[in-house]
Homo-oligomer: A and B are copies of this chain.
Amino acid sequence: MGMIGGGPGAFIGAVHRIAANMDGQIELVCGVFSSDAAKSKQAGEELFLAPERVYGSYKEMIEKEKQLPEDVRMQIVSIVTPNHVHFEPSKMALENGFHVILDKPMTFTLDEAKALQQVVEKTGKVFCLTHTYTGYPMVKQAKQMVKSGVLGKIRKIYVEYPQGWLSTFLEGSDSKQASWRTDPKRSGIAGCMGDIGTHAFNMAEYVSGLKTTKICADLNIVVEGRQLDDDGAVLLKFDNGATGVLFASQIAAGEENNVKVRVYGEKGGVEWQQQDANTLMVKWLDKPAEIYRTGTGYVSSYASHNSRTPAGHPEGYLEAFANLYRNFALTVRAKENGETPKPEWLDFPGIEDGLRGMAFIENVVKSGKSEQKWTTFDI
């Protein structure tokens, strides 16, 4: 694996490396970790990379790696840069024969997303977008239970992602994270909605299996001086007639990363919350609620496949992230070997999720500005 981005001070780059390392199936062999060559070099050293494979630019990396012997060169590229540097390196990597795993949101604009979709389709390379929360075993259990029909027709979806870390004007300090995430030049047209609203949106569609058709958004800039939304709520309509509520905030002071999803059908509902990630609460109309747990013998194959320890030993965010990497890697290997990947392996977010996520951003910003209640969810 080669990595683009993730140098000093980058939170998500370190997370990607741990996720890739965890199962001992993926080896980091090269990278360009910063636009600053010295910083990149230093990062490479700390990661025990051969100095000649720490590059000065992603272009250089892709070009040079491509020329290495097949059994030496990187096979996959992990891209963990800010949003405005997603499209170009992804495109170039794919077109040069590398499989790509990319941090979300997928691109800077919806147009880029559409263009990337064509590249993925044309090249046939494996593409993964790291919507982490879909990697949790109990989120997969929720999806499978909805899919199986035990809850009946889905009627209502609540999804929320409150955070509090941007309650003050943090971008006025030296916080690298706050700085790029609130900057329209690097994040795009949405702040909170792009950063975490997209996760919430993805969870709603992933667990329910439904597609959003109409939305009504209220976006707010709460902290004075901020350039992008730091809070918002969205009413949703889905393609089967169900409705929903999504809210995300970065000014809910005291909240950590409290993402939660609830999906109700005619007969019952499922509820999952990151702060109790190994539990799926399943509520029923006429009988006691049930607690499904990671690592037990009674969960679906999708949940089991994405778990590493016996029940009661909690698995967390890094394991969920590692599940994306592992499923991506298993799929890559199967494809490279001409084998058919198992359905459980293929259950990772891809280009379609990325496209819908970018459409969410554009639609939610449009709706936020509209005086009309409902706007169609366009792609």
Interface of A with B (CB < 8 Å)? Answer: 11, 14-15, 17-18, 21-24, 28, 47-48, 151-152, 155-156, 158, 160, 162-165, 167-168, 216, 218, 220, 222, 231, 233, 235, 243, 245, 247, 249, 251-258, 262, 264-269, 274-278, 282-293, 295-298, 308-319, 370-374
Contact = CB atoms under 8 A, between A and B. Distances in A.
B290 A298 contact: no
A254 B283 contact: yes
A215 to B, nearest CB: 11
Contacts of A257: 310-313
Given A156-B251, A218-B235, A254-B283, 5 more contacts: A21-B22, A155-B231, A164-B269, A220-B243, A249-B264
11 contacts: A21-B23, A167-B266, A216-B373, A256-B293, A256-B295, A274-B312, A288-B298, A290-B290, A309-B318, A371-B372, A372-B373
Contacts of A290: 288-291
Contact of A24 (B23, B47, B233): B47
B243 A231 contact: yes
Contact of A298 (B286, B295, B308): B286
Contacts of A158: 160, 162, 247
Contacts of A286: 297-298
Contacts of A249: 156, 264
A244 B177 CA distance: 27
Residue among A11, A253, A264, A269 facing the most chain B CB atoms (10 A cut-off): A253
A343 to B, nearest CB: 23
Contacts of A21: 21-24
A137 to B, nearest CB: 11
A250 to B, nearest CB: 11
Contact of A255 (B283, B291, B315): B283
B311 A314 contact: no
The copy count of this chain in the complex is 4
A161 B14 CA distance: 34
A251 B265 CA distance: 9
Chain A to chain B: the 7 pairs with minimum beta-carbon distance, closest first: A256-B312, A254-B283, A257-B312, A313-B317, A314-B316, A316-B316, A288-B290
A274 B313 contact: yes
Nearest to A237: B218
A290 B254 CA distance: 11
Contacts of A167: 266-267, 285
A252 to B, nearest CB: 5
A222 to B, nearest CB: 5
A218 B216 contact: yes
A255 B269 contact: yes
A15 to B, nearest CB: 7
A314 B314 contact: yes
A229 to B, nearest CB: 11
B245 A253 contact: no
Contacts of A310: 11, 165, 256-257
A28 B24 contact: yes
A48 B24 contact: yes
A164 B284 CA distance: 9
B289 A267 contact: no
Nearest to A249: B156
Contact of A318 (B267, B283, B315): B315
Contacts of A253: 151-152, 155, 264-269, 283-285
A289 B291 contact: yes
B14 A308 contact: yes
